[in-house]
Structure 1
Amino acid sequence: DQARIEIEEAGEDAMNEKERQMALDSVRLGLDALKKAYGLSDDQFDALVKFAGAEAILKREPVLAVPASPAPAPVAQAAPAVTAAPAPVQDESAAKKAAEAAAADEAKKAEAAKKGAADKAAEEAKKAEAAKKAAEAAAADEAKKAEAAKKAAADKAAEAAKKPVAPEAKKAAPAASAAAVGAAELTLEKTPLNERAAKVPEASYKQAYTGAIRQTLLGDEASGIKVGGANTLPFHLFEGTMGNNPKIAFDVLDVKPDEWPDSLARHYQDVLDNPVAWAQKCVKEYGADAICISMVSTDPNGLNRPAGEAAKAAAEVVKSIEVPVIVWGCGNGEKDTETLREITSLIGDKKVCLAPLSDSNYRAIGATAMAFRYPMVAASPIDVNLAKQLNILLENLGVSLDSVLIDPSIGALGYGIEYTYSVMERIRLAALTQKDEKLQVPFICNLGREVWKAKECRLPSDEMIGDQETRGILMEAITASCMLMAGGELMIMRHPRAVSLTKSLINGLMG
């Protein structure tokens, strides 16, 4: 029996050891599961294990039972089984709670760290936004300051540009006198050409002309001037005579011009708004042979001044001076007819030259001029045949060609002057060499208005193209000299200095 009891106890001990190993494996699996579930590191896991003490308890060797009497045997047999089994469950629960506590603590720390990072990022964003706003405000302030400085500089420059204009005009006005704009006389050749060319046959340099240019009277018999009368080419005095020296009329506008450059306007600064005083100044100070009153204010595309009102202003000019007057319309046939008729009804016995007559209004104005025995200007657009045709129409109307002047249409220097010169030359050759009576009338050249609207006369003084006023003067004087060489008998000009230079040329060539 004793042997049997020992065998049974040995079997029971073996069973208890097996259960202990199984419990230990369960604890380990549970702890590994907790470790994975809560994402614990190895250090955290070891701390929990040691804290629980489950592993140390389960690793202890069990105490072997001491043989005893049969009575107490059941107690010794049951004690290890009852007390050893609950230990792993209790330790597993404690480990789980510790793991949960550690995980919660880590979660709190992570949440706190996340919140701190978010707060820091918000603070940084706020600072960046404030810095951006400050930079934008500074940039806007700088832009405002720069704009204000730019505007102030522009205003200052504009003010500086404005200031010299008025004083310069005021200073220049007194200089607009005959002495200031006069030109020196040309030195004349005292020996005639026929004496200088005595060894050359006359047939080599002289030509006989069969025709002659009619002579036309402008103004009254007592105070008028005659133009035309040449029987030779311009200034060919070795071949014939020119009859009368070419004459120059000053251009006076019936309204103050706003497009004239200062280099021209300054000579009339004190009279530009008064046509009567303007015309008188041209006669008394600049020695005008005649006055051309330009009715620019009547242009329907401009001021469109009523014909009656404009005619009264022109009539005052006609009555205020003794030299011949040319009344030049705006170029609109219908308006010119109305204006010129109004003028003829207001000037009484004064004789004026009416201009321009074209194929659109020659009947109406031609009849008026013929009734009052006024000279007239037949205008054609740079064409020999059209100029001749208009003279034929006037003659058919009953107008005597002795009272007609041809306006061939003038191109300024650099602006078609070669076309004008060519047409005038052909007309004059036909009149002198072909005896074309319809073309044997004097030329009138309204060149001042063409020259002074050229851009070269308006460009400011420059080192390359020179002084502005000198440039304009020379353009007008050279244009006039070209027209004289082509046969022009009456020039209409504007700048007094250009007039003086042209007169000096005429006097020098005429001897």
Structure 2
Amino acid sequence: MAVTILKERWTSKVAEVTIGEGPKAVKVGGDSTLPYLTFEGQVPNAPVVALEVSDVYPEDWPEILKNAWGDVLSDPVAWAKKAVEFGADAVALRLDSAHPDKGNASAEDVARTAKAVADAIDVPLIVLGCGVEEKDAEIFPTVGEVLQGKNCLIGCATQENYNSIVATALVNGHSVIASSPLDINLAKQLNILITEMNLPSDRIVIDPLIGALGYGIEYAYSIMERARLGALTGDKMLAMPIICFVGQESWKAKEAKDEGSPEGYDWGGQYTRAILWEVMTATTLLQAGGHLFLMRHPDSLKQFKDHVAAISKGAQY
């Protein structure tokens, strides 16, 4: 007896964004179906996984995470090289030293660091600001200029500072992370504002803001799913690939950063628990429609990539 599979017929697809130059450049997006439903459409590009690097020593990281990196945490260039050795598809450099509470480094100072990191690696570079919107607007024109020709992904651009960051991307040939706080309408509005500055939609990546496993991930999932459905049904202002700050959120969770267990509970060993917290956050967001994943522990990256390989058998990348 023949079995007929009912197929959804989508009318559009997610935009495809290229990050980096040369043979190690990566593409994200391009999907014309929901995640892994390849009998309904195409998923031309595999998920991209980046490891985070900071330009200051990460004092607030738990010891189990610091220990994974050894003695490179005070040297962003050595740290970035190690990330590539661990198998990262890209490196995400955080310019934390520009934060007023972490040194208030000048635009020239952080630009020198960004240029040194970019020159030391052969994979694409994602450059993240310090998280203070006014300061990020101040440093990115200089950072973007010294990285001209590298086709970096820079951000995060918000509704308060997008003008400066988008202008930098336009002048210097970069793509932009558009960040909005877990609201589909705010995400769409920011994308409209950015495209009105003539940055093409294939140079925008959406950061919808995510939560970690057990910390609001279900709400993040629903926002990402709605964005993907909007893209597939023709909404051009939601048709950008999605970036997920997995490591940043996962390692805030007490289950990942606490060595012991609460009284009356046995959480098991911290290493297994913490790695799984990061991996499970990433795999959940993968199914929600994520394309680019920023992680912190190299073992998490490996396990996540193994998972992607297992569920991608038969898919053409």
CA distance in 1: counterparts of 2:78 and 2:15, whole angstroms: 34
CA–CA distance in structure 2, aligned partners of residues 366 and 231 of structure 1: 27
Aligned partner of 1:477 in structure 2 is 279
The answer on 1:323 being equivalent to 2:123 is: yes
| Superposition TM-score, scaled by structure 1 size | 0.59
The TM-score with structure 2 as length reference comes to 0.94
Match of 1:502 in 2: 304
The unaligned stretches of length 5 or more in structure 2 are none
Partner of 1:428: 228
- Within a 5 Å distance, the mapping from 1:124-273 to structure 2 comes to 199-203=2-6, 206-273=7-74
Out of 56, 64, 80, the position equivalent to 1:279 is 80
In 2, Cα distance between the equivalents of 1:208 and 1:503?
Answer: 30
Higher relative contact order (CA 8 A, sep 6+): 2
CA distance in 2, matches of 1:460, 1:510: 34
Unaligned runs of 5+ in 1: 1-197
Residues 150, 174 of structure 2: 8 Å contact kept? no
Separation in 2 of the partners of 1:401 and 1:347?
Answer: 21
Q: Is the 8 A contact 1:319 1:347 kept in 2?
A: no
SS at match of 1:208: coil
Match of 1:403 in 2: 203
Q: Superposition pairs for residues 289-328 of structure 1, below 5 Å?
A: 289-328=89-128
Q: Which residue pairs with 1:94 in the alignment?
A: none
Amino acid at match of 1:480: A
SS in 2 for 1:397: coil
Higher normalized helix content (fraction of residues): 1
Shift, 1:461, TM fit: 4.0
Aligned to 1:237, the other structure's residue is in SS state coil
Residues 262 and 199 of structure 1: CA distance in aligned 2, closer, same or farther (over 3 Å): farther
- CA shift, 1:348, in A, is 4.4
Which residue type is aligned with residue 114 of structure 2?
Answer: A
Q: Which amino acid aligns with 2:77?
A: V
In structure 2, distance between residues paired with 1:419 and 1:260: 26
1:390 aligned residue: 190
1:302-334 CA-to-partner distances (Å, cap 9, x unmatched) read 432223212211221111111000000112122
Q: Which residue of 2 aligns with 1:364?
A: 164
What corresponds to 1:487 in structure 2? 289
Task: Please identify the structure whose Cα radius of gyration is greater.
Answer: 1
- Cα distance between partner residues in 1 of 2:166 and 2:145: 15
1:464 paired residue number: 266
Over residues 75-124 of structure 1, what are the superposed CA-to-partner deviations in whole Å (9 max), with x where a residue is unaligned? xxxxxxxxxxxxxxxxxxxxxxxxxxxxxxxxxxxxxxxxxxxxxxxxxx
Q: Which runs of 4+ in 1 moved over 4 A?
A: none
Residue matched to 2:237:
438
- Whether the aligned pair in 1 keeps the contact of 2:96 and 2:129 (CA below 8 Å) is yes
| Number of residue pairs matched by the alignment | 310
Alpha carbons 1:264, 1:469 under 8 Å: kept: no
- Percent identical among aligned pairs is 42
What CA RMSD, in Å, does the superposition of the two structures yield over aligned residues?
1.4
The reply to whether residue 376 of structure 1 matches residue 179 of structure 2 is no
Which structure has greater strand proportion?
2
The Cα offsets for residues 245-278 of structure 1, whole Å up to 9 and x where unpaired, read as 1110000011111111111111112101111000
Q: What residue in structure 2 maps to residue 66 of structure 1?
A: none
Task: Find out whether 1:447 has 2:246 as its counterpart.
Answer: yes
Quote the Cα distance in structure 2 between the aligned partners of 1:345 and 1:431.
32
Q: 1:142-198: per-residue Cα shift (whole Å, max 9, x none)?
A: xxxxxxxxxxxxxxxxxxxxxxxxxxxxxxxxxxxxxxxxxxxxxxxxxxxxxxxx7
Q: Distance in 1 between matches of 2:307 and 2:297?
A: 16
